[in-house]
Structure 1
Amino acid sequence: MPASAPTTGVLGIDIGGTKVALRIEPSGADGGPGSGVDVAPVESSFPWTPAASAPRDLADLTDGVAALRARWNGPLTAVGVAMPATVDPAGRVTTWPGRPSWTGLDFGAAMRGLVPGARVAHADDGDLAALAEAAAADCPDLVYLGIGTGVGGGLVLAGRPCPRPGHGSAEIGHMLISMTGAVCTCGRRGCVQATASGPATLRRAAAYRAATTASVDEPDGGEPGGGEPAGVPFAELRAGWLAEADWAVRAVRESTQAAAVAVVSLTEVLHPRLAVVGGGFADGLPGFAAAVDEQARVLGRPGHPPAPVQAAVLGGLSSLSGALLLARQAD
């Protein structure tokens, strides 16, 4: 195919709590997987403006899609969207604690307006990430935890998403692991997300580091409460984790333990063959998944070992890869 020839493409959109990732790949007709035609994809990402309104977010998303399309020589036939918010069957956002201004938004209509004429499908980001990781690992029975701004998750059993379409998503981040744990963004105490998410870990790390450098004698309390310092920058946590600084190891280990509890509990009920840990936050901390696996081994009971835990094959791009799978199905 000549380099200048138009190429039909599909668009994947991964809408996260703090950023959006976009990628256009050739469709099956013009160079998709297995076609033998080598056409390079194009991709980009941009951060959300903190506390912006839904109209501002949608304007930024529209601009991001338009800029990426300008780099693609050809039409788009389908769009797949990975979304962390709860969207009802009519396509309307019912809740998204990370972007509360989106509540009530006609999400389906907004996504269709991004690429007029293209077929559009959307699904939970954790469910899509699980499907993408199951395909990458060639594993039909898999549990996925995506640890980033929140904690997403998904289940694939016998090669199919669980729960089945039309029955909600696998909200692993909102599994209760402690009746008296930290407060989650959903308002409850003790969700996996309340301990294991990136922001929760960064806040604890700030409190633990402050406690080790305090010039006055203060109790070395556990989970920081009201008036806690802002979270440390991720780069500093990563450096502290790699240097095995006590404050960083303590904060991250609490997160990996929460993830391990989720893996062990799901193994007891569903018996997946593999557990995968991904998401931007976990992917950025070398050894995070291995630490989850180590703690899961400790929590296993005799004769009933938990599923082995490994890092996501697709790293922090699992949800985006799942969105592209969804686009190809819609194409």
Structure 2
Amino acid sequence: MPAVNELHASSWLTDWRPGSWGTLLVAVVTIGYVAPWIRARRRGRADVSWLAWFLTFGAGALAYTLCGPVEVWSTRLMWVFALQVALLVAVIPTGLALARPVDVIEGATGSTALRRVLGGHLGRALMYPFVSSILAMVSVIVVFFTPYGQAALDSTPMRIVLTVHLLVVGGTVVLPLLAGDLLPAWAGPGVRVLLACVDGLFDAIPGILVMTHHDLLMPHFPGFAASASTYRGDMSASLDQKFAGGALLAVAESVGLPLLAAVFIEWMRADRASALRADAELDAQYGDGPGTTTPWWITAAPTTSEGSADATLTASEGLADVPPDRTSTPSR
């Protein structure tokens, strides 16, 4: 039988911490998206599926991570803290990006100011291919291999800083992959699929480093204290750290496939839009429209007087080669 304070299956549904700082952050993010979405929806420039993505994998996942069981157990088990870090840097930014926040704000305000800011020098530098992936990888490594993570566990303001930091860094990775105009011109849909694959490889590095490290990376982790031994049961601190690396690795690899699928869907949409534009250009060039009945190959065929003369000469030569009718009566 598990101990009273030991993590078990029902804990992932029943252990919540409402009223914390995480609740306020979730409320700010939710209001900041839903209010512009309603306005953009009234203008016909927002889709219902965007709101569904936001409520499920954006605000919903954020609430579960900051107010639910993940937050409750993040100070008791190191592998749950690692799970929280992975969710903040990979899963939640993907859910928020799928909700198309830039398009929602543009639809609500009618302005492209946000897109211009993201497409500025600083934004393009942070979201440049491989730069954002390396930045996210280094951010996770810094959490566990420097006092940054321990400081976030000991101080609420530092915990808020860490949360915002991970969300922003994760957004610089996934947002340009789903909004191609934030990347250089050479990063087409096919290149974005390749970038998503490479990003999955970068995300696996922190988990491998934590899992294979022999010494304790966070010796003052609250769950390693003697008074918190009931939370771990028979699990040692070193084993908890190995599980932390496994949690980072599992989340990094599991989120890669949905992100790759989302980028691939955007690729298909871009191809379909490109085909429609090409058809429209051909229709405008050759005059092929609803009121046109002449095929374009006849309309586009050049006609010259020299060509008409050649055609007439050829027809005359063809008539001359026809043998006379043997049944006709010869003239006398």
Q: TM-score range by the shorter chain?
A: under 0.3
Give the number of the structure whose residues are more often strand, by fraction: 1
Give the number of the structure whose residues are more often helix, by fraction: 2
User: Rg larger in 1 or in 2?
Assistant: 2
User: How high is the TM-score relative to the length of structure 2?
Assistant: 0.24
User: How high is the TM-score relative to the length of structure 1?
Assistant: 0.24
